Structure 1
Amino acid sequence: MFRVPFLVALALCVAFGLGIASAVQALKTTVGFGVIALGPWTAFPNAQTASADPYARAHRARQGRLLYGGAEGLQFIASVDSAGAPLEAACAYEIAGQTPVARFWTLYMTDLQDRTLTAAPELPTALNSWTALHEGDGVIHIRLSAAAQPGNWLALTAAGPFRLVLTLLDTPTAGSSGLIDLGMPAIRKLGCGSHA
């Protein structure tokens, strides 16, 4: 007598549970459609605009982050080096090249859950265009390692994989369709463990 209602309730619970779980996983996995990859760096130029797809809108609502206008800013994320290997805090890296034209840019590191990596107050974990040292031709060299380095250096103190987040503010790049022609800095692994 209660077998049919029980099976219907069980089927509904399984269907709703799997539907909710798949939606949450989709929001964790992607920011949306329309990704642009430039070497190891990826960006979602439409994620913060009125024409964003439903996944991008749900993702930014879930994250609760400040949104940039169409021509205000663009965020690039790298979770692999230029050779395609995942970024690991046990290794040392060098970021070398020119950043795209922007009035101001920031570079910092996060874990895979988008939590900003922190260290002791005296250790640098972020750089910006005003504090970074540039060469005469605008090329920048940034070292990422656990051991202190001369010049531009970011301290890797946490263990495990991490991401680099490069945010360009007040840049003509964000409002243009010429993103494919951009040159982004390369990320080169220098070594791991005792070779870092």
Structure 2
Amino acid sequence: MRRILKWLAIAIVGVALGLGSAALAVTQVVKRSGLHVGAWSTPLDAGGADRGFYTRAAVAVGALLALNRSETIYFFADSDDEGRALDANCTYTLEGRDPAARWWSITLYAGDHFLIENAQNRWSYNGANVARAADGRFHIKVAKAEQPGDWLPTGQAESLVLVVRLYNPAAEIAADPAKAALPSISRGECRS
């Protein structure tokens, strides 16, 4: 009996270590293999059946139904321009110009990559509905409290992830995603 318990304990530890290392590899694949543009990163090999199993697992966990890069480029940000993790208790301003793509969107998710429940039913802005200043720039606030203008509410989330999707990006961006003009992410006031 003691021998069986010993082998069972070894098997449990082995399974736990295997699952833990796989989970760590999947969560780190975008950060390690991706291209970084300011606070934004993009996995250069998201989408497509010919991708490695860690990349496909990461896409399944964090970017459901990702299209391949010839159709769409996805940029993720979980920190601001100064490298601080996005915190739902802080106010952020996204500022930029329309990226060179047929269609684009910016979507706010909770840290678990699910949409944030909010009374406004507002999760995203895109080239068709974002307000622009006279100089063509847009400003989107991300905050718990209602903000004037374009505002993405953080609801009851704790951590945040922003995703920019560029559908049919310009040829030069498809060839080199580092050339994409992505919005800046600046942190304002934080409340505890």
Into which bin does the TM-score normalised by the smaller protein fall?
0.7 to 0.9
Matched residue count = 192
TM-score after normalising by structure 1: 0.82
CA contact (8 A) 1:71 1:175 kept: no
Equivalent residues of 1:109, 1:116 under 8 A apart: yes
Contact 2:30 2:42 in 1 (8 A): no
Deviation at 1:114, TM superposition (A): 0.8
Give the conservation status (yes or no) of the 8 Å contact 1:87–1:161: yes
Q: 1:171 to 1:185 in 2, by over 3 A?
A: same
Partner amino acid, structure 2, of 1:126? S
How many Å separate the matches in 1 of 2:68 and 2:79?
27
Q: Which residue of the partner structure matches residue 79 of structure 2?
A: 80
Partner of 2:185: 187
Higher Rg: 1
**1:104 positional shift:** 1.3
Could you list the runs of 4 or more consecutive aligned residues of structure 1 that deviate by over 6 angstroms after TM superposition? Answer: none
* Alignment-mate amino acid for residue 149 of structure 2: G
- Taking only aligned residues, the RMSD between alpha carbons, in angstroms, comes to 2.7
Aligned equivalents of 1:96, 1:63: Cα separation in 2: 24
Q: Return closer, same or farther for 1:3/1:119 CA change in 2, 3 Å cut-off.
A: closer
Distance 1:33 1:53 in 2: 14
The CA distance in 2 between the partners of 1:188 and 1:97, in whole Å, is 11
Matched, 1:170 2:173: no
Q: Normalized against structure 2, the TM-score is what?
A: 0.84
| Higher normalized helix content (fraction of residues) | 2
The more displaced of 44-53 and 184-193 is: 44-53
In 2, Cα distance between equivalents of 1:150 and 1:10 = 58
CA distance in 1, matches of 2:40, 2:186: 13
**Cα distance in 2, alignment partners of residues 99 and 41 from structure 1:** 16
Structure 2 gaps, min length 5: none
Uncovered stretches (5+) of structure 1, i.e. residues with no partner: none
Distance 1:12 1:188, change over 3 A: same
Q: What SS class does the counterpart of residue 101 from structure 2 fall into?
A: coil
1:6-50, Cα deviation, whole Å (9 max, x unpaired): 544543332233112321332234348530111111111212135
